[in-house]
Structure 1
Amino acid sequence: MGWHRWRVAGASAVALLMIAGCGGAGNDVPAAKKPLKVVGQFEFHSLDPSTAGGVFTRLQVAETLVDADVRGAPKPGLAETWAASADGLSWTFTLRPGALFHDGTAVTADVAAAVLNSAQGKAGTPLATVPLKAISADGSSVRVDLTEPFAPLPAVLAHTSTQILAPSSYGPDHAVTQVVGSGPYKVAHIQQPADIELAAFEGWRGEKPAISEVTYQAVGRAESRALMAESGQSDVTFGMDPTSLQKIKQSRNLDIVDVTLPRTILLKANAGHEILGDVQVRRAISLALDRESMATALLRDPEMAATQLFPPSLPDWHQASATPLEHDQTAAKDLLAAAGWLPGSDGILERGGKKFTVSLRTFPDRPELPILATAIQAKLKELGIALEVKVGNSSEIPAGHQDGSLELALFSRNYALVPDALVTLAGDFAPEGGDYGPMGWNDPALTSALHVLASGNDAGQAAESRRKVTEILQTQLPVIPVAWYRQSAVVNTRVEGLVLDPLERSWRLSDLTWKK
């Protein structure tokens, strides 16, 4: 298509404004003929559904067998109906008739079963954790046989790693070489890791997108994304930092759309660490956090101060009766003193000749994380804890988990990556821990409660099992909640119809229209 793309990641504000000043070449083009310009923070270094993240489902290029509504309840995707056998060991997913891939080939049960069999063999994907016996084609249906009942299976088949791609997507070694999906938009051009051009798919049998061309650009710096929104270089901009949002609120050409997400910003502590393995130390760190002040000053949203791991946007898991996490610096100092940590001559806590020095890893993809890390560093310094903040790549957190070098990490965890939070929790809090779950910690009672929930045989005790999970996590603090999360997008007033998905499965670009 030859659409012109601005490359601004890392550009200075001056350079960006120069671009904006000379960027009017397309202003005389009727709106209906322009591509919708979308900017976000997520790069994609792989095309494989298991490692590309959700970019191709967010852009409505690829579909999964099952979709989900805004509350996480399953709804039809490529499968229009599904049912489980009486014993819960066999599920049948009947495909939507007439569905086509972007290369014109039919979406068949054979293709879908082959894709899912490939996905379940890839470590780290939710499907790999399901007690699978076999996945096969049965006429126009996909049949999934299990070794034991697993109630949240439909939610797993809504995860982005299970997106169904056409056989033409794969090379000779079965590596994904192009993304040929079945959604309302098809890929016209990709330049990894930051640029995608889309066109409306003429074979889509649902409601046709009102805007037929879309560009997506990943831009790493929040300041650059904000400048692109302000200068009109972006129509829809995701991943805005709180400071930029305050400034943008003054603009008459930009609107802000937001939604509370089932996502929590948390501190992951290495409970196998010689210092952090002490639950009293983890409780002291939690007590040191002035969550309300951080949420007010840094996130500009005091309601996002986390009093427990699960936010109110997860109503089945959020426990109104739970004793809230609080800020109490005196109590924190008392806990540390009881654990043998006393101030040294330089003010840093010491025990047995060893100073209380730990490191915290975080990353800038979500712009609020580095500033929250700095605030946490300041609060822990008041206790006498020397915290070294390392801002790097997000991949360093799972890598540090795997090699044992991680001490503390600050990141945000979306508990609805799979629409049923139970699936993510079962992976994160498995006995061996998870890349974004506990490290060096497990609790048999918690493991048992999650297993009972997954079996679907809880005999009406699901609410009690979820309460028990929250109680254990609130007491042991293998991960320390910091803040809940509100997603915001900046929308140019020339665009109408954006409604954010709280599950972040789709950006719903096909619903957008140009303002008349």
Structure 2
Amino acid sequence: MRKTIENSHLILVAAALIACLIIAGCTSSTDTNNSSGEKVLRVGDLWTVSSINPGDGHDGGTFVTEKAIVTETLIGANDNFGLVPNLAESWEQINDTVWEFKLKQGVKFQNGKEMKADDVVASLDDTIRLSPSTALLMSYDHAEAVDDYTVRVYTTELNPLVPGVLHYPDTAIVSQDSYDENGNFIKPIGTGPMMVESYDEQTGELVVVRNEDWWGGDPGIDKMILKGYESPATRAMLIENGDIDFTCDPPYSEVERLNATDGIHVEVYNTPRLYKLDANLGHEAMADLNVRKAISYAIDRDGIVENVLYGVGTSAGGVFLPSMTWSNKELSPYPYDPELAKQYLAESGWTDTDNDGVLEKGGEKLKVKIFTYTERPGLPPMLEAIAANLRDVGFEVEETSMENSALSSAMGDDWDLYLSATNLAMVPDPEYVLKSWYTTNGTSNKAGYSNPTVDEMIVEGHYISDLDERYDHFREIEAIVYDDLPTINVAYYGVAIVMDDDVEGYQFDPTAHDYRIDPFMTISS
């Protein structure tokens, strides 16, 4: 083990040095001299900061809401993904197509103006205009201000998802002063604990400062400087060298060493994200359920969690984390059983006639092409481990890892399995994921899965408002796709948060999509 850690450290250092030659300097261009006693947190994110406009969709919305903590949503969520008040103190369904939200009073935007119902209506209208997918998810028709602190949202049909969608970071509320007189976006003016001081589109560096009038309390930091570094090795090197104070997901092989390094420490948490393989059901071999079962039984999930993720994650059974209120807790991970995998392949006529270790049928080799992306540190080594597992049971495997920006064009339709780490709680309700991934026309149905029973059940489930009945219904759907295996669940994601020892009081939010900055954390020196 010691030799492995030392070798991986050499690789880490080499990669990081190369990355620093490419990046225009490893440290922030902003003066971080803290001699005045100002509490400045330097954050190294895992994605380039390409937008600070929540209206630009997931990239802008999630970053500004969860990481820069400039904007806030009407609805929050607790540790079990249940909905809780945030900017809205309460809500109720008035009838099948009307939801009413009571706003907290005395909440101010960062320009000093009080947030009122007209502001919320205008912000929601902007979101819907800029994001048709959010409009569709909400069945949004229009919103109106009933009085200064009451908003009604009208939908085109009965839709129990509305409060959950209003937890979505893209629906964060911003002042209309975020736009100029021509409707052009300037910067987000929200209600959160930090507010934008500057943003450099060229370098992707965002600087936010403390909001003295935040309704939620007294923030523990004065300023944050946020910048993205997409290489896990670079993030590890920067925090080890003291160039940043807070980051996540270094190479997992480095977690133990980093945690033992003077001046920094690592905290590991579960987060609502799933490592999964999408199977291309448009390809003959992948369309065979026996082949998909063979793949699932061939994967050593526990070995991957221990030896590839270094314990940063857990083996996956159903789609949803067991901690999620609506998850089907009866669905355990498929066991590692190479012999059973070979039996399923034999049942479908795959045999090794020439004793070369690769199965064939009808003169064709059992070959799979697997793709993944490199930004998340667990994916490339997980791909290697899965490829080795599949070779052991008779597959010929071609594996490809590349940057996410180039992956789609490289794959085209010439892929069999796609390994990703996909979020499970953009909207805290089971319908969101199950509909998107598994209905015939689902927006994220990469597998091309089509099961009329599932389609019908998801439509039925949409109209169930009683939560106990609703969750039971969607647990049945989760069990069906668990058996059908259009996606093969490998592991639940674990996030490794790396912090300078001077960063104190951090509380992790398990509902965040990578992590959420805690406004009450502070810096001791």
Same-fold status (TM-score > 0.5): yes
Q: Does 1:338 align with 2:347?
A: yes
Give the CA deviation at 1:339.
Answer: 1.5
1:289 is matched with 299
- C-alpha distance 106-387 of structure 1, shift in aligned 2 (>3 A): farther
- C-alpha distance 307-419 of structure 1, shift in aligned 2 (>3 A): closer
Q: 1:259 aligns with which of 247, 253, 269?
A: 269
Q: Secondary structure of the equivalent of 2:286?
A: coil
1:40 is matched with 45
Which sits farther off after the overlay, 376-385 or 284-293?
376-385
TM-score by length of 2: 0.86
Give the CA deviation at 1:338.
Answer: 1.9
1:359 is matched with 369
Give the CA deviation at 1:475.
Answer: 0.8
1:500 is matched with 508
Q: List gaps (5 residues or longer) in structure 2.
A: 1-12
1:3 is matched with none
Q: CA RMSD in A?
A: 3.2
Map 1:116-155 to 2 at 5 A. Answer: 116-121=124-129, 125-140=133-148, 141-155=150-164
Which sits farther off after the overlay, 288-297 or 309-318?
309-318
The amino acid of 1:90's aligned partner reads V
1:440 is matched with 448
Q: 2:62 aligns with which of 54, 64, 68?
A: 54
2:481 is matched with 473
Q: Does 1:12 align with 2:21?
A: no
TM-score by length of 1: 0.88
Give the CA deviation at 1:160.
Answer: 1.0
Give the CA deviation at 1:212.
Answer: 0.9
Which sits farther off after the overlay, 153-162 or 307-316?
307-316
Q: Distance in 1 between matches of 2:400 and 2:19?
A: 28
Give the CA deviation at 1:494.
Answer: 0.9
1:4 is matched with none
- Cα offsets for 1:452-504 (capped at 9, x unmatched): 43323469533532331222122100110011122221111111111111111
Q: Distance in 2 between matches of 1:120 and 1:497?
A: 37
Q: Distance in 2 between matches of 1:21 and 1:490?
A: 17
- C-alpha distance 310-28 of structure 1, shift in aligned 2 (>3 A): closer
Q: Secondary structure of the equivalent of 2:275?
A: strand
Q: 1:76 aligns with which of 52, 63, 85?
A: 85
Q: Secondary structure of the equivalent of 1:365?
A: coil
- C-alpha distance 191-340 of structure 1, shift in aligned 2 (>3 A): farther
Give the CA deviation at 1:33.
Answer: 1.5
Map 1:345-384 to 2 at 5 A. Answer: 345=354, 346-384=356-394
Q: 1:488 aligns with which of 491, 496, 514?
A: 496
The amino acid of 2:90's aligned partner reads T
Which sits farther off after the overlay, 360-369 or 136-145?
136-145
- C-alpha distance 453-461 of structure 1, shift in aligned 2 (>3 A): same
The amino acid of 1:430's aligned partner reads T
Q: Distance in 1 between matches of 2:441 and 2:27?
A: 55
- C-alpha distance 323-102 of structure 1, shift in aligned 2 (>3 A): closer
Q: Distance in 2 between matches of 1:398 and 1:135?
A: 37
The amino acid of 1:311's aligned partner reads L
Give the CA deviation at 1:128.
Answer: 2.2
Q: Distance in 2 between matches of 1:54 and 1:10?
A: 28
- C-alpha distance 473-215 of structure 1, shift in aligned 2 (>3 A): same
The percentage of aligned residue pairs carrying the same residue is 27
Q: Distance in 2 between matches of 1:496 and 1:126?
A: 36
Give the CA deviation at 1:324.
Answer: 3.8
Q: Distance in 2 between matches of 1:443 and 1:213?
A: 51
Give the CA deviation at 1:292.
Answer: 0.8
Q: Secondary structure of the equivalent of 1:54?
A: helix
Give the CA deviation at 1:20.
Answer: 11
Q: Is the 8 A contact 1:151 1:455 kept in 2?
A: yes
Q: State the number of aligned residues.
A: 502
- C-alpha distance 305-460 of structure 1, shift in aligned 2 (>3 A): closer
Q: Is the 8 A contact 2:207 2:225 kept in 1?
A: yes
Which sits farther off after the overlay, 184-193 or 368-377?
184-193
Q: 2:172 aligns with which of 163, 169, 192?
A: 163
Q: Is the 8 A contact 2:240 2:264 kept in 1?
A: yes
Give the CA deviation at 1:277.
Answer: 1.3
Q: Distance in 2 between matches of 1:412 and 1:27?
A: 34
The amino acid of 1:306's aligned partner reads A
Q: Does 1:451 align with 2:456?
A: no
Give the CA deviation at 1:323.
Answer: 5.4
1:103 is matched with 111
- C-alpha distance 366-37 of structure 1, shift in aligned 2 (>3 A): same
2:283 is matched with 273
Q: Is the 8 A contact 1:47 1:176 kept in 2?
A: no
Q: Distance in 1 between matches of 2:255 and 2:152?
A: 47
- Cα offsets for 1:347-385 (capped at 9, x unmatched): 433333333333222112211101101111111122232
Map 1:306-317 to 2 at 5 A. Answer: 306-317=316-327
Q: Distance in 2 between matches of 1:113 and 1:353?
A: 63
- C-alpha distance 330-498 of structure 1, shift in aligned 2 (>3 A): same
Q: Is the 8 A contact 2:439 2:449 kept in 1?
A: no
Q: Secondary structure of the equivalent of 2:261?
A: coil
Give the CA deviation at 1:448.
Answer: 3.5
- C-alpha distance 358-149 of structure 1, shift in aligned 2 (>3 A): same
Q: Distance in 2 between matches of 1:226 and 1:213?
A: 22
- Cα offsets for 1:284-314 (capped at 9, x unmatched): 1111101111111011228712233322222
- C-alpha distance 211-474 of structure 1, shift in aligned 2 (>3 A): same
Q: Distance in 2 between matches of 1:243 and 1:107?
A: 47
Q: Secondary structure of the equivalent of 1:205?
A: coil
Q: Secondary structure of the equivalent of 2:383?
A: helix
Q: Is the 8 A contact 1:134 1:145 kept in 2?
A: yes
Give the CA deviation at 1:412.
Answer: 1.2
Give the CA deviation at 1:423.
Answer: 2.2
Q: Is the 8 A contact 1:259 1:502 kept in 2?
A: yes
The amino acid of 1:163's aligned partner reads A
Q: Secondary structure of the equivalent of 2:285?
A: coil
The amino acid of 2:38's aligned partner reads K
- C-alpha distance 341-120 of structure 1, shift in aligned 2 (>3 A): farther
1:217 is matched with 227
Q: 2:242 aligns with which of 232, 246, 251?
A: 232
Q: Is the 8 A contact 1:9 1:224 kept in 2?
A: no
